[in-house]
């Protein structure tokens, strides 16, 4: 399993567009990709569930990837998140 933790820098937090980009990136991989915030955990492929977490600036999120392509998945998502959030 691969894990990646990040503190949100974006002023609005995880709004619709980044949630969508995370979901579409996560869908490219076969690994199970989860997004954890506080005590809640949702599949990163689900745009509405990710939005519903209401993640704001300065919140800490953790991405976990489990599966055959977990290394590639984790790398792709960390790149994306650092770029847009």
Partner 1 sequence: MNTYHGKTAYSGCAIGPIHVVETEDRPICLHPITNVREEITRLDDAVKMSQDQLQVLYDKAVGEIGEEDAEIFHMHQMLLEDEDYLDAIHLSITDNQWNAEYAVAQAGKDFAKMFADMDDEYMNARSSDILDITHRLIHTLLGKKKNSTALEIPSIIVAHDLTPSITMEFDKTKVLAFVMKKGSLQSHTAILARMMSIPCLVATHLDSLHNLNGKIALVDGAKGLFSVEPTQSMVDEANKQLALQKAQKEIELQFKGKESKTVDGKKISIFGNIGSVLDVESVIAHDGEGIGLFRSEFLYLGRTSYPTEEEQFDAYKKVLVKMKDKPVVVRTLDIGADKKVDYFNLESEDNPAMGYRAIRICLDRPEIFKTQLRALLRAAVYGNLSIMYPMIISVQEVRKIHSIVEEVAKELKGAGILYRIPKQGIMIETPAAVIISDLLAKEVDFFSIGTNDLTQYLLAIDRQNAKLDALCDTHHEAVLRSIELVCRNAEKENIWVGICGELGADTSLTQRFIRMGIQELSVAPPFILPLRKKVCESTAW
Binding site for partner 1 (CB under 8 A): 11-12, 15-17, 19-20, 23-24, 43, 45-49, 51-52, 54, 56
Shortest distance, CB of residue 20 to partner 1, whole angstroms? 4
Shortest distance, CB of residue 54 to partner 1, whole angstroms? 6
Active site residue 79: no
**Which C-beta is closer to partner 1: that of 14 or that of 71?**
14
- Cβ atoms of 35 and 83 within 8 Å: the answer is no
**Which C-beta is closer to partner 1: that of 45 or that of 64?**
45
- Cβ atoms of 85 and 10 within 8 Å: the answer is yes
Shortest distance, CB of residue 64 to partner 1, whole angstroms? 18
Task: Copy the structure tokens of residue 57.
Answer: 């600036």
Cα–Cα distance for residue pair 74/65, rounded to 1 Å: 6
């Amino acid at each position: 399993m691969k894990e990646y933790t990040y503190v949100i820098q974006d002023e609005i937090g995880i709004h619709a567009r980044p949630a969508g980009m995370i979901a579409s990136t996560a869908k490219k991989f076969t690994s199970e990709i989860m997004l954890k915030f506080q005590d809640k955990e949702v599949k990163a492929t689900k745009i509405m569930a990710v939005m519903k977490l209401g993640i704001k600036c300065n919140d800490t999120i953790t991405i976990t990837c489990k599966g055959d392509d977990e290394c590639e998945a984790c790398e792709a998502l960390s790149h994306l998140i650092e770029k847009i959030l």
